[in-house]
Structure 1
Amino acid sequence: MSHRIRPAARLCLPIVLAVSSLCASAQEAPVAATSPAPAAAVPLYPLIAERSKAIEQKVIDWRRDIHQHPELGNQEKRTAALVAAHLKALGYEVREGVAVTGVVATLRGARPGPVVALRADMDALPVKEQVDVPFASKARAQWGFANVDVMHACGHDGHVAILMGVAEVLASMKAQLPGTVKLIFQPAEEKLPNAEIGGARRMLAEGAFDAPVPDAVFGLHLVSALNTGQIGYKPGPITASSDTFKVSVKGSQTHGSQPWSGVDPIVLGSQIVLGFQTIASRQVNVTKEPSVLSVGTFNAGTRYNIIPDAVEMSGTLRTYDNEMRQFIIKRMGETASHIAQSGGGTAEVRFEADGYAPTVNDAALTAKMVPSLQRVPGAQPIVIPKGTGGEDFSFFAQKAPGLFVMIGATPVGRDASKAEPNHSPRFFVDEASLLVGVRTLSQLTVDYMAGAQR
């Protein structure tokens, strides 16, 4: 769902969770791990705990630096340079400039084993910061045709810092790793102006998952809807697809006092809006997965007594099932066209090419890795409901079994249900959550690699 704070926020793709339903529906995971720890991984657990704690302040410093210097999608040159320099110093094989500013790095363990991909997104949002911290952003940048304020209002600064920390932890145990780590530092998760294709899809098109090909991919997202220490997860869909559509309705202009002399596109457009709602409520199996179809803009006319020639509308479609997504898209085109024809007009529905698929956690992988989440020091894994925000991690998870988790970022003792949501100019990250993130990705990586050695 979108919390539109200011007009520029319409350009963004939120990963906002439904706070009230999340807090009401979250379930604590069983305290005891459901399967024994992989024997080859157990000696590495103290190293994960100790080495992640030892670099905690470095991770915090990286996050503050990136936060103070945010960059929009495909403009993350400073961030990417910081990441690449760090990874090269650690001995990773580093490829830069993937999908404009993306960084792909590979660490080959001393022993053979599976390939694990870890992803962090790097871009900020066109939002003016309202958080009173010494490292608050004062940055501005060009976004489309506008010069905008820029802020890390969705936690991507934390994601980059976390993965930089994970890179250091895993590099320090390279001699004990039974497998290969592939790090994906991705630009443009929040989409680009003018429906340009970027981010995960462009990274994949430019070989981010090639040679070596990942056997699994893990990702995380900082969210204010959970408290620090909580790790939210669920098998199956965890975030929705995100599609932008536009509708053009053509009529015939005439005087408002004699509508019979023309074709009123405002009436036709209004009927189309209502017709769209019957697709979600009457034409798809609501017991399978929910869907959201919302018209957000409706523009027509210039004067009170003139029936205009045309109506332009736009909106968003959110689904959790690709088959349902394609069915709704098809029915929207048919519904709009037939309603318009019934009144003597025409209508066309156009979907932007930059839409995101739903992020679906692989059920078998999730079940396998829940015990690993339970082993993260100082953390509490909980089952959460799916959210209506979108994430292009979905495309990585289509290429390899994926697990995407939510890391709580609201300080313990504060009511997370009342915290400012992601994409708010007042979005706040408890920096203690960064250590949880480092340990989570490190634990998942080590356990997955060692588990394949059974």
Structure 2
Amino acid sequence: MKGLKTLFLATALFSVNQISFADWIKDAALQVEPQTIQLRHQIHQNPELGNMEFNTSKLVQKELKSYGIDVRTGYAKTGVIGVLKGDLAGPVMALRADMDALPVEEKTGLSFASKVKALYQGKQQPVMHACGHDTHTAMLLSAAKVLAKNKDKLAGTVVFVFQPAEEGAADLDNFTQGDQIGSRKMIADGALKQPAPEVIFGMHVISGMPSGNIFYKGGAILNSADEFRIKLKGQQVHASMPWAGKDPIVTAAQVINNLQTLVSRQSNLTKGMGVVSVGQIAGGTVSNVIPDEVIMAGTIRTNHEDIRQTILKQLPNIVNSTAQANNVKAEIDLSSYAGVTSNDKTLTELTAPTLEAAVGKERLHLMENNASPSEDFSYYGKIMPSLFVFLGATPEHEDMNKAAPNHSSEFIVDDATLKTGVESHVRFIMNYPSIAAKVQSDWKAAH
């Protein structure tokens, strides 16, 4: 009975605390809103490509230090870690934002639009925050400020993860050096050690979803992403006498068709989905010569690890067999970008009321299916329970179907949504200690 009484009191106290959270967290997010917007505009106007976020990194460091947060660098070239210890005992928790922009020319017409150009893979390119990483960085900085100001209420330690190169690096071969980029490099460099968080939360703004609304689901929320390169080496010959050579063009056509059977005939689609797409093909110079070589490149996307592994295992077999049938030689290279981004189901279920407190019941949406893009946030979820959610970026009064998508040169984020992101980060941290035992127990049982 004593244990039941203690549990009842703890539950009642938590309910009271939740009410008090509502009183101060929403107010705090509103108070820092002007700063959040200003930071977002500053970062947006001065975008930097993956692995080149030097000035963004300096800005993050300066802001965190001004809040009294311990700042650490030396991770993944430009990555930054901030550590804030609360006044109350509790777990170590992480919040993550990415900082990099894309080689895209901005055509939004915004007053703070980017006019920056920079080297990407050795070529001068226009640069734009076309995926909202400027908002992620600004929201996390403001959440850090709020938490630092209220560390007397904070139970545990917060690790603020500012990660470079989620979109890939401007200065490295993303195909062959993927393990030296982004979240994988942050982890390899020890960014999540001393202290080691036991849970991590991430958020991504998405166009075509209404501002101030949060979208979430347990389990898979984003697809895996792997890339392949295929070189087919034949024998050049005059197009009028193909029997005298070895045709890599016809072979390429057969390879492309046969690759589709990796999904339609070899993957167990009761577990999920898969897509194999060839996005690049090059071969030949004139119409009347069969070339000696064709080069192809493409991507593999799945929402289940078993399907992913089936495709990765069988793809070389199909390509080699097809090439052999045409008396052509094949060279195949595979490169992993990210696994399936999967939300811990216990963490998701127990955090849902906290997300609802941030946006209201009508603005919190449980997704039926995962989204098709990919994220290297997935690597954090391999080492600890993780939760990744989407934050609407398009004003509610606009037609969601007409909003320019992420990665578009006309992609726009509604500044009004930023305060929701700040509040959600803070609420996650304030709520997690009350659910930590259950989350960790279920995680350990499943792993």
Fold similarity call, TM over 0.5: yes
Quick one: structure 1 residues 372 and 264, their matched pair in 2 at CA, closer, same or farther if it must change by over 3 Å? Answer: same
User: Which residue, out of 286, 290, 295, partners 2:269?
Assistant: 286
Shift of 1:198: 0.7
Distance 1:78 1:103 in 2: 12
Is 1:440 equivalent to 2:412 in the alignment? Answer: no
- The TM-score, its normalising length taken from structure 2, stands at 0.91
Instruction: Report how many aligned residue pairs link the two structures.
Output: 419
Q: Report the equivalent of 1:240.
A: 223
Quick one: structure 1 residues 38 and 332, their matched pair in 2 at CA, closer, same or farther if it must change by over 3 Å? Answer: farther
Is 1:184 equivalent to 2:161 in the alignment? Answer: yes
Contact 2:164/2:182 (<8 A) preserved: yes
Q: Report the equivalent of 1:23.
A: none
Q: Report the equivalent of 1:356.
A: 338
Q: Secondary structure at the match of 2:411?
A: coil
Q: Secondary structure at the match of 1:242?
A: strand
Q: Secondary structure at the match of 1:403?
A: strand
Look up the equivalent residue of 2:222 and give its one-letter code.
T
Q: Report the equivalent of 1:137.
A: 114
Look up the equivalent residue of 2:352 and give its one-letter code.
V
Q: Secondary structure at the match of 1:257?
A: coil
Name whichever of 401-410 and 194-203 sits farther off: 194-203
Contact 2:302/2:340 (<8 A) preserved: yes
Look up the equivalent residue of 2:121 and give its one-letter code.
G
Look up the equivalent residue of 2:393 and give its one-letter code.
A
Contact 2:214/2:359 (<8 A) preserved: no
Higher relative contact order (CA 8 A, sep 6+): 1
Is 1:227 equivalent to 2:210 in the alignment? Answer: yes
Contact 2:104/2:128 (<8 A) preserved: yes
Report Cα offsets for 1:359-385 as digits up to 9, x if no partner: 111111111111111111457110222
Contact 1:126/1:151 (<8 A) preserved: yes
Look up the equivalent residue of 1:413 and give its one-letter code.
H
User: Which residue, out of 388, 401, 407, partners 2:372?
Assistant: 388
Distance 1:83 1:190 in 2: 19
Shift of 1:44: 2.9
- The TM-score, its normalising length taken from structure 1, stands at 0.89
Q: Percent of pairs identical after alignment?
A: 42
Is 1:422 equivalent to 2:406 in the alignment? Answer: yes
Look up the equivalent residue of 2:308 and give its one-letter code.
R
Is 1:167 equivalent to 2:149 in the alignment? Answer: no
Q: Secondary structure at the match of 1:387?
A: coil
User: Which residue, out of 365, 368, 375, partners 2:357?
Assistant: 375
User: Which residue, out of 290, 293, 305, partners 1:310?
Assistant: 293
Shift of 1:41: 4.4
Distance 1:448 1:42 in 2: 15
Q: Report the equivalent of 1:79.
A: 56
Look up the equivalent residue of 1:133 and give its one-letter code.
L
Q: Secondary structure at the match of 2:203?
A: strand
Q: Report the equivalent of 2:6.
A: none
Look up the equivalent residue of 2:118 and give its one-letter code.
A
Distance 2:272 2:263 in 1: 10
Q: Report the equivalent of 1:90.
A: 67
Unaligned runs of 5+ in 2: 1-10, 439-447
Q: Secondary structure at the match of 1:59?
A: helix
Contact 2:219/2:343 (<8 A) preserved: yes
Question: Where has structure 1 moved over 6 Å in runs of 4 or more?
Answer: none
Is 1:58 equivalent to 2:35 in the alignment? Answer: yes
Shift of 1:426: 0.4
Distance 2:405 2:350 in 1: 31
Shift of 1:45: 2.8
Distance 1:323 1:45 in 2: 42
User: Which residue, out of 258, 269, 283, partners 1:300?
Assistant: 283
Shift of 1:55: 0.7
Unaligned runs of 5+ in 1: 1-34
Higher fraction of helix: 2
Look up the equivalent residue of 2:39 and give its one-letter code.
W
The root-mean-square deviation of aligned C-alpha atoms, in Å, is 1.6
Distance 1:210 1:120 in 2: 18
Contact 1:113/1:452 (<8 A) preserved: no
Contact 1:49/1:377 (<8 A) preserved: no
Is 1:112 equivalent to 2:89 in the alignment? Answer: yes
Distance 1:257 1:42 in 2: 81
Q: Report the equivalent of 2:445.
A: none
Distance 1:200 1:286 in 2: 29
